[in-house]
A and B are shown apart, each in its own frame.
Chain A
Amino acid sequence: MTEHGRYDAIVAGAGHNGLTTACYLQKAGLKTLVVERNDWIGGAAVSRSLMPGWTYSNCSYVCSLLRREIVRDLDLPRFGLQVIPYEGGASFTRDGANFGYHADPAQLRRELRRHSPRDADAYRRYRQTVLRQCRFIRPFLLRPAADPTSMKPRDLGELAFLLKRIHGLGPRELGETLRFWTISIGDFLDEHFETDLIKAHLAGSGIIGTGLGVYSPGTAYVLLHHYMGDVDGAIGAWGFARGGMGAISNALAAAFEEAGGTIRTGAGVEQFLVRDGAVAGVALGDGAEFRAPIVASNMDVRRTILKHTPREALPDDYRRAVERFRIRGSSAKLNIALDALPRFPAAPEGARFLRGDLHCSESLLELERAYDDWKRGRWSKEPYFDMLIPSQIDPTMAPPGRHMMTVFVQYAPYDLEAGGTRSGTNWTAERRQAMAETVLDKIEVACPDIRRHIVHMEVRSPKELEDEVGLTGGNIFQGELTFDQLLFNRPVPGYARHDTPVKGLYIVGSSTHPGGGVMAAPGANAAREILTRAGRGRAMPDLAA
């Protein structure tokens, strides 16, 4: 028997953005249904137990960008969300050297001076610049992106806000801002620092998730996507969600259900139903159909439009613009269950900075070479990785004495080159394993006994990310964060307000402004837009205030 039903709004996909949109719609009085293809919720903000006793944040793995305005407004801590800051970070080299990125400022300064007194001074300037840029951009995250080509009063208002902020910068600071937005992270770091290891340590945030190298213009801006968050008000700090990233989705889901919303898992949207140019509902993979005049898709724009929306409902130029939307995957993931904490011989026993992000990249050129491999359709021979052991801070992640390790790996192409073809289907189990061995070889630089401690390892190429989570191409940001796909250009010019040519169909995931990272800002922005258009704008709290 097929299931039917009517709702005021349907959200396709129970990722953190979809759930955020759903929360606000439900709280505004719209009877809202969330449908999710997988048997579990969370999308890429998920905790799963693939090995009894261990919890894996098996996609996104750290938390900071989640807008605190939303956390507060939805009262997520009441639903179990707890973010624990982590305690530094470190980079290790093959010849036994290391750089400890201490959380304590005085300790960090000593460590920087140990490598180079000049770099210790430069770090202050660097940090000030990055924080200034964060402060400049943060007010824009929970507002619609100003569209300079629009003459609508609402857009002109946003444009005026933008121009006022720009004017407020003054010419000198504006120049610096223009530079920061367009320079490469490599050049930016070269301007400040002389020590390769320090530069390599700081560069990762500029390339994580992108199809760009450290010397590609625009990567300094990507850095902001990893810095503009905060943990307990400490801007740029990072933390673990207690119980894994799924805690975020679970808290959102709990808030949604408490407000009266319904979540249905196990069948995703097969087709968005369209009648007379307006959305009518969704048809699911299991044959169920639900009706609603408002449908919000948490899937990326490519998947939403090209796979699940009837072709005849879309103008050709819009479809083409969506086809051109870049969404190339570049990262892979290893999730490892360990029977004990591995040794880091280069670090002092019990060093606190080990409870943070660990790296083994030694120079910017090494990172750039890793990117060159990706361009050629191969995984990096010397990959960059961002490695953490959250169970050191959050004991719920592994059985007592055991540990859980998450390794974000870059670069890995979606379209893997093999035998003269480039395709996602080239990611066979053997090749995945070969990639994992490459990564493990490099992890041994930091902890030589890592292989002995592995109880279980999950290897995820961009192909698995696409297959399981639905991220096209395995791109973690649901679309590259390049100039041509940011702000009013995201996801496509003329449709930056989450809307589509199909009336009532909205896109609410990271494909939309302000983009990826577990921010929940796109979901909240989309909710505001949907409610405004439905004449219920007042029901949306003013998060930007």
Chain B
Amino acid sequence: MSRAFDAIVIGGGHNGLVAAAGLARAGRAVCVLERRDEIGGMAAEGAFSDGTPKPRMAHLLYNLSPAVLADLDHDRKALFETRALPTVCLDPEGGHVVVAEGRPHFADGAPHPEAGPYHALVSRLARFGAILARLAEAPPPQLAQGMTDLQGLRRLGTLGALGWDFRRIGRDEAREFLRIVLSNAHDVILDEIADGPLAGALAADAVRGAWAGPRSPGTVFSLMYRYARGGGAALPMGGMGAFCAGLAARARVLGAEIRTGAEAAAVLVEGDRVRGVRLADGSEIAAGCVLVAAGPMTAMRLAGPAQFDIEAVRRLRALRAKGTVAKVNLRLRDLPEMPGLTAGQMAGRLVLAPSVARVERAFDPVKYGEMSEDPVIEAVIPSLTDPSAAPKGGHVLSAIVQYVPHAPRGGWTQAGRDRLLATTLAALDRVAPGLSDRVAEAEVLTTADIEALTGAPGGHWHHAEMSLDQLLAVRPVNGLARYRFGPAGYYLCGAGAHPGGDVMGSAGRNAAAVALADGVAA
């Protein structure tokens, strides 16, 4: 056995790093084990063959928790720098709409007829989202346990704060919140604005990463999460790599050790307590506390199903994680024009979702294991904002492509990948004619590739579907929702835990807080 730690974090994605930093900040000796040679997980940086960096999967920050940043006890600028990007709702017919600060206008400067209702809608979503954000910053509330102990009282405190939020927004708003929170994005959006690129982009935000279309009930919940902080998107300067490096640097400064190329093979359990981790190379590291940022099933397998009661195992097996997102990274020789957009506007977050109906239509094929012929795309050209993104000239276009099946019939083949790339390029060509002729290098990551690279189950961006039946008190599954995961000292700290995915960091932060409160990480 090598040197003992107070706690080990398996997985060097952003949630793992945040958890490690939280434990280190409390004075615990922490070691992060990352299977790959670079940290970052979903937020990792990659490189094209000529060395040009590329955001491998996640490419923007939408929703990084301010509490996480505050906890890192640091001036945000020193960790990493970001630029807020406007959202550009692309219209294949040319009527592109630019949204900045929740206010839309046409790309040519003309006022948008629905600017008022749109602003009112997203402001409301932001107000309601702020209530959900409060829920995200703590373990999920439990209704069924009373005031039998101090913890029970503390839990009621969270609910009390929630109740206060309700009083504060007023009865009518509270009613509206309760009406739409479990509703579907299709209806809530189209009640306020007509269908088109502006509505389509909102719908796309409601379902990004999800196995759901805008008509699926529950999609307003995710839209509220997304718009909790206004719905803006920020580009990390220096790429997602700089963001991860910032987190890692902070964790290290606080005293955490980060080992890359160190694959955890098993979590060692003695009696009903965790006592360390065995690595793939056979070596063992002792620790009384292990946090795991991997998918819930992987976390279970690491400790062994025998450590979980049979109901928990059954529920984990039934956990849904069907990824629907592919990533296409393009290195461009030069930049095509996008008719109707200025170069400045092209630097925004480009959303190709011409209408809510088309987002729903794009979802349909994945239900049957097929891919969308007319995909929804969120693209960004970081090199227009950040000169370091393409140091050798040219440009980088990073595209999140939805929907693709997590398990197409016969599996992902080269032909399937080629078709995905061709479909994506064809869609982009419609708004940026000639783009496909300028591609110097393309990388296609299917759901299967994403799973292989990051371990995300089913290639799902949120490790488990963020549908209502897998959220809050039942995320990832009923009975394992409060980060404690099977044996004493074992915690789930990844996106599979409450509050779920996106580069939020809250799961890592909350899990570390629970581990500390349990006193095992001492």
A171-193 interface (Cβ within 8 A of B): 171-176, 178-180, 182-183, 187, 190-191
- A139 contacts B by Cβ under 8 Å: no
With CB as the reference atom, state the residue of chain B lying closest to A150.
B171
Q: Which of A5-13, A14-22, A453-461, A482-490 contacts B (4 or more CB under 8 A)?
A: A482-490
CB distance from A401 to the nearest CB of B (A): 45
The reply to whether B368 and A187 form a contact with Cβ atoms under 8 Å apart is no
The reply to whether B171 and A167 form a contact with Cβ atoms under 8 Å apart is no
- B71 contacts A by Cβ under 8 Å: no
- A494 contacts B by Cβ under 8 Å: yes
- B364 contacts A by Cβ under 8 Å: yes
Q: Which of B45-53, B124-132, B215-223 contacts A (4 or more CB under 8 A)?
A: B215-223
* Residue numbers in B under 8 Å from A169 (CB-CB): 144
- A498 contacts B by Cβ under 8 Å: no
Given A166-B143, A368-B367, A375-B360: A179 in contact with B474 (beta carbons within 8 A):
yes
The reply to whether A484 and B144 form a contact with Cβ atoms under 8 Å apart is no
- A157 contacts B by Cβ under 8 Å: no
Q: Which of A210-218, A348-356, A441-449 contacts B (4 or more CB under 8 A)?
A: A210-218
- A77 contacts B by Cβ under 8 Å: no
Q: Which of B58-66, B177-185, B196-204, B237-245 contacts A (4 or more CB under 8 A)?
A: B177-185
With CB as the reference atom, state the residue of chain B lying closest to A324.
B191
B360-374 interface (Cβ within 8 A of A): 360, 364, 367-368
CB distance from A121 to the nearest CB of B (A): 12
* Residue numbers in A under 8 Å from B468 (CB-CB): 182-183, 217
The reply to whether A175 and B176 form a contact with Cβ atoms under 8 Å apart is no
The reply to whether A484 and B179 form a contact with Cβ atoms under 8 Å apart is yes
Q: How far is the CA of A369 from the CA of B368 in the complex (A)?
A: 9
The reply to whether A494 and B318 form a contact with Cβ atoms under 8 Å apart is no
Residue A175 contacts which of B172, B175, B360, B474 (CB distance < 8 angstroms)? B474
Q: How far is the CA of A167 from the CA of B159 in the complex (A)?
A: 15
Q: How far is the CA of A218 from the CA of B318 in the complex (A)?
A: 17
The reply to whether B178 and A489 form a contact with Cβ atoms under 8 Å apart is yes
- B174 contacts A by Cβ under 8 Å: yes
Residue A483 contacts which of B175, B182, B360 (CB distance < 8 angstroms)? B182
CB distance from B316 to the nearest CB of A (A): 11
- B345 contacts A by Cβ under 8 Å: no
Q: Give the size range of B's interface with the partner.
A: 35 or more
The reply to whether A489 and B368 form a contact with Cβ atoms under 8 Å apart is no
- B166 contacts A by Cβ under 8 Å: yes
B142-157 interface (Cβ within 8 A of A): 142-146
Q: How far is the CA of A166 from the CA of B182 in the complex (A)?
A: 19
Q: How far is the CA of A372 from the CA of B473 in the complex (A)?
A: 32
B191-236 interface (Cβ within 8 A of A): 191, 212, 215-218
- B275 contacts A by Cβ under 8 Å: no
Q: How far is the CA of A215 from the CA of B174 in the complex (A)?
A: 29
The reply to whether A176 and B146 form a contact with Cβ atoms under 8 Å apart is no
* Residue numbers in B under 8 Å from A117 (CB-CB): none
The reply to whether A484 and B478 form a contact with Cβ atoms under 8 Å apart is no
* Residue numbers in A under 8 Å from B217 (CB-CB): 182, 212, 216-218, 482-484
* Residue numbers in A under 8 Å from B166 (CB-CB): 149
- B449 contacts A by Cβ under 8 Å: no
Given A215-B367, A217-B469: A182 in contact with B218 (beta carbons within 8 A):
yes
- B187 contacts A by Cβ under 8 Å: yes
The reply to whether B368 and A365 form a contact with Cβ atoms under 8 Å apart is yes
- A148 contacts B by Cβ under 8 Å: yes
The reply to whether B175 and A493 form a contact with Cβ atoms under 8 Å apart is yes
* Residue numbers in B under 8 Å from A187 (CB-CB): 320, 469
- A326 contacts B by Cβ under 8 Å: yes
Given A166-B144, A178-B473, A216-B216: A149 in contact with B178 (beta carbons within 8 A):
yes
With CB as the reference atom, state the residue of chain B lying closest to A171.
B144
Query: B16-41 CB contact bits vs A (8 Å, 1 = yes)?
Result: 00000000000000000000000000
With CB as the reference atom, state the residue of chain B lying closest to A376.
B361
Q: How far is the CA of A180 from the CA of B174 in the complex (A)?
A: 24
Q: How far is the CA of A252 from the CA of B286 in the complex (A)?
A: 74
The reply to whether B146 and A167 form a contact with Cβ atoms under 8 Å apart is yes
- A170 contacts B by Cβ under 8 Å: yes
Q: How far is the CA of A172 from the CA of B146 in the complex (A)?
A: 14
* Residue numbers in A under 8 Å from B145 (CB-CB): 171
Residue A182 contacts which of B172, B175, B182 (CB distance < 8 angstroms)? B182
The reply to whether B469 and A182 form a contact with Cβ atoms under 8 Å apart is yes
Between B182, B360, B481, the greatest number of chain A beta carbons within 10 A of the residue's beta carbon is seen for B182
With CB as the reference atom, state the residue of chain A lying closest to B364.
A372
Binding site for B on A (CB under 8 A): 148-149, 163, 166-167, 169-176, 178-180, 182-183, 187, 190-191, 212, 215-218, 324, 326, 365, 368-369, 372, 375, 482-484, 488-489, 493-494
Q: List 18 A-B contacts (CB under 8 A).
A: A167-B143, A169-B144, A170-B144, A172-B479, A178-B472, A178-B478, A179-B478, A190-B318, A212-B217, A216-B215, A365-B367, A365-B368, A375-B215, A375-B360, A482-B182, A482-B183, A483-B183, A493-B176
14 more CB-based (< 8 A) A-B contacts, given A175-B474, A178-B469: A163-B143, A170-B144, A171-B473, A175-B481, A178-B474, A179-B469, A182-B468, A183-B468, A324-B191, A326-B187, A483-B182, A483-B183, A483-B217, A484-B187
Q: Closest 4 A-B residue pairs measured CB to CB? A: A175-B478, A483-B182, A182-B468, A493-B175
